[in-house]
Structure 1
């Protein structure tokens, strides 16, 4: 499990937008007899300070990714509805290996 909170770049198609990311990962654990077996890792979180242009691009793009300052990149699916009073925060669900 891990967490990341900080600056990031939203990649939507060929466009790039500066955002703030709050991301978390978790490992699925199941009991198998008297042992605990680790399964898939999932990640999720929110992007804040998302401009109207970025939100539009994110929902129109065929692929959406997040790039962290160290260069690691992760694919994600945006939530269908922005949250927050000003609509600048978007919930995301990661796909594949967490970039943090």
Structure 2
């Protein structure tokens, strides 16, 4: 299993915010998917990401991956689940 823990820049709508990520790749059937958690964000920034058509996660080395948020965003929560789309950026 491939993992990444560290800072990421999340870009969505008109937001570009630095957050902490805890991500991993796992096999589902015969397909590899990536997912994890984002933390260390401002509620207003994450709401804008949630309502954007496309959210992108950028690692410090410049690699990027598209993702969607999993579940509902509740004000004041400390982390949110993400599900990647396409190849993992790590």
The two structures have a TM-score, normalised by structure 2, of: 0.89
Q: How does 1:1-100 map to 2 (within 5 A)?
A: 1-28=1-28, 39-82=30-73, 86-100=76-90
5+ residue gaps, structure 1, are 30-38
Total equivalences in the alignment: 90
Structure 1 consecutive aligned stretches of length 4 or more whose deviation exceeds 6 Å: none
What is the RMSD computed on CA atoms of the aligned residues? 1.8
The CA deviation at 1:82 is 3.7
Of structures 1 and 2, the larger Rg is shown by 1
5+ residue gaps, structure 2, are none
The two structures have a TM-score, normalised by structure 1, of: 0.80
